[in-house]
Structure 1
Amino acid sequence: MTNSFKEKLGHGGYGAVYKGKLKDGWLVAVKVLTKLTGDGEEFMNEVAAISRTSHVNVVTLLGFCFEGSKRALIYEFMPNGSLEKFIFDSNTPYIGHDHLGWEALDQISLGVARGLEYLHRGCNTRILHFDIKPHNILLDENFTPKISDFGLAKICNKKESIVSMLGARGTTGYIAPEVFSRNFGKVSHKSDVYSYGMMLSNMVGGSRNTDDEAENTSEIYFPHWIYQRLELDKELGMQSITNEEDEARARKMMIVSLWCIQTDPSNRPSMKEVIDMLEGSVDSLQIPPKPYLSSPPKSPVDCYTSLVLMK
């Protein structure tokens, strides 16, 4: 199927992904798991969770291999790869430009929100993803976003929302406070909302969670910069914004991201409310309270591209 694993699409802590082709010519992505945790829990999680789904904004699992220690997942092929490379890698061109464009980013943020809302409320069971980040959002030929990588997912009854688990799960920079410490609240679907909000901050800022060249990354906290600009009703001052429509889209994404990363889970919107905000007018949105975990930088930072999310 992969012609002896000839073309590698990417890799991660789980193993590697290869491009493949079925006998009928259908292109696929084959995810080969080499580092299995416990008794292959992440593999079983992924198969169990994603096999219950069918949504335009959730990647389709076409099959899997389970033969002794050999385990692989076969997905539909996403020709544009992950969202990560478009918002983090300025060398990646998109129709001659480094930036996806605010209209495209707006549609991608809305598509991911719809996919998450489906996982939380549209399935016959509730699925909590626990690893929403740009790397796990794949883009098809039309840049339609699809949520992928369900290795950390938890499945619960539709009526349930609060889940119990040992230790934190997810990716640093996107994990909700309550997942680290139950003192902040109970772990629930609102933990995915937090991760989504941090991803929106990435999409707006176009920067990684950490900047290797920054002397003190704890001083450079992008959500704080967002909050300052919105609170003072300043222009966003981003080079990629060229008209009022783009300014409105960027401002809307910023406001929604701040609502999503509220420290108290009960203050965060549901994904249905996120969709309503993204589909509505920016003028109808209120600026949320400042998340108290964020702290102002000790020195002003003028260029937004140098701002990063706290690791």
Structure 2
Amino acid sequence: MTNSYKEKLGRGGYGDVYKGNLPDGRPIAVKVLNVSKGNGEEFINEVASIGRTSHVNVVTLLGFCLEGEKRALIYEFMRNGSLEKFIFKESTLEDNQNLGWEKLYSIAIGIARGLEYLHCGCNTRILHLDIKPQNILLDEEFCPKISDFGLSKLCSRKDSVVSTMGPRGTPGYIAPEVFFRNFGAVSLKSDIYSYGMLVLEMVGGKKSVQTRVSASSEYFPDWIYRHLELVDELGLQGLKSKVETDTERKMILVGLWCIQIKPCNRPSIEKVIEMLEGSVEALPIPPKPILSSPPRPLPDSSATSSCDTMSLLD
């Protein structure tokens, strides 16, 4: 199918991806998993989770190959590759908006609808646990599709909390509760945090992981929040229409709500879509997300008192 792995499309944490063709000529992407990675859990996760899905904003798994220790996953081919290459550049934000605000907004909505399907539309809820630009693929029409389910977790429709064996995900996108359980349980809201960081990066054109690891750099959400009231500094000064300015501000506000430190203060994915599709004037400014050491456990009588900020969005 891949003509002896002739055309390499990229490399992920669990293997390399090659372009190929089915016998009928249809282009495909084949992910060949590393033999040395784990005991095959990522292969089982991918087949078990994405094999249950069918949605315009989730990449389609066409099949898989399993022979001894050799494992490969066969996906539909996404002509425009990952979102990462369209939003991350070394230049200024003015140069990064090559997709345009309308397209960026459409992509943000599409990703949210894909997450809504995973969280609410399947018979078994699917927590992706690795939402990031590299795992958002774009077809020829720039329709976004969520991919790479190697770290995903399944849970019943009546549950939203999962147990995990150690941190899962990519630094810069991992929700605080994945590392520090005092912040809360790993749940659907953990995907919301990752989505929020992704949306903020779409606006800012910066890699959050780079700004986190550099001691001299400003923490990425702080950079976004500092410019919230000066939105014209973030885009094409003097050239943007009111629609573009409102779209940019709306994406910033939604992103900041999604990365609230405590999971109970983040919106559900249904609420995220409602916020994105609603009026920017109706969105309150969220509290500044301050990442500090995990709080000490509180007595049951006061445990709920710190989770009231989302009532502003009801």
TM range (shorter): 0.7 to 0.9
User: 2: CA distance between counterparts of 1:44 and 1:65?
Assistant: 12
User: 2: CA distance between counterparts of 1:115 and 1:252?
Assistant: 19
1:234 has 2:230 as partner: yes
More helix by share: 2
Gaps of 5+ in 1: 296-311
Q: What does residue 135 of structure 1 align with? A: 134
**Counterpart contact for 1:221–1:294, Cα < 8 Å:** no
**Counterpart contact for 1:224–1:294, Cα < 8 Å:** no
1:47-101, CA deviations, whole angstroms, 9 ceiling, x for partnerless residues?
000000000000000000011011000000000000000001369xxxx986211
CA shift, 1:223, in A, is: 1.3
Instruction: Please give the secondary structure, in 2, of the residue aligned with 1:235.
Output: helix
User: 2: CA distance between counterparts of 1:294 and 1:83?
Assistant: 30
Instruction: Please give the secondary structure, in 2, of the residue aligned with 1:155.
Output: strand
Q: How does 1:9-158 map to 2 (within 5 A)?
A: 9-89=9-89, 99-158=98-157
Gaps of 5+ in 2: 294-314
**What is the letter of the counterpart of residue 194 of structure 1?**
Y
User: 1: CA distance between counterparts of 2:113 and 2:223?
Assistant: 27
**Counterpart contact for 1:255–1:288, Cα < 8 Å:** yes
Q: What does residue 305 of structure 2 align with? A: none
1:125-171, CA deviations, whole angstroms, 9 ceiling, x for partnerless residues?
00000000000000000000000000000001000111111211000
User: 2: CA distance between counterparts of 1:240 and 1:66?
Assistant: 50
Equivalent pairs, count: 288
**Counterpart contact for 1:236–1:247, Cα < 8 Å:** yes
Q: What does residue 164 of structure 1 align with? A: 163
**Counterpart contact for 1:17–1:32, Cα < 8 Å:** yes
Instruction: Please give the secondary structure, in 2, of the residue aligned with 1:247.
Output: helix
Of 225, 247, 250, which residue of structure 1 is paired with 2:223? 225
User: 1: CA distance between counterparts of 2:261 and 2:181?
Assistant: 12
User: 2: CA distance between counterparts of 1:45 and 1:267?
Assistant: 29
User: 2: CA distance between counterparts of 1:19 and 1:190?
Assistant: 34
User: 1: CA distance between counterparts of 2:38 and 2:12?
Assistant: 18
Please, what is the CA RMSD of the aligned residues? 2.1
What TM-score, normalized by structure 1, do the two folds share? 0.88
1:255-303, CA deviations, whole angstroms, 9 ceiling, x for partnerless residues?
00010000110010000000000111111101111112179xxxxxxxx
CA shift, 1:245, in A, is: 1.4
User: 2: CA distance between counterparts of 1:229 and 1:90?
Assistant: 19
1:1-48, CA deviations, whole angstroms, 9 ceiling, x for partnerless residues?
111111100012212101111111111000001244331100110000
CA shift, 1:200, in A, is: 0.8
Q: What does residue 259 of structure 1 align with? A: 257
1:7 has 2:3 as partner: no
Identical-residue share of aligned pairs (%)? 64
**What is the letter of the counterpart of residue 242 of structure 2?**
E
CA shift, 1:229, in A, is: 2.8
CA shift, 1:194, in A, is: 0.3
What TM-score, normalized by structure 2, do the two folds share? 0.87
CA shift, 1:240, in A, is: 3.6
User: 2: CA distance between counterparts of 1:275 and 1:26?
Assistant: 33
User: 1: CA distance between counterparts of 2:180 and 2:220?
Assistant: 23
- Structure with bigger RCO (C-alpha 8 Å, 6+ apart): 1
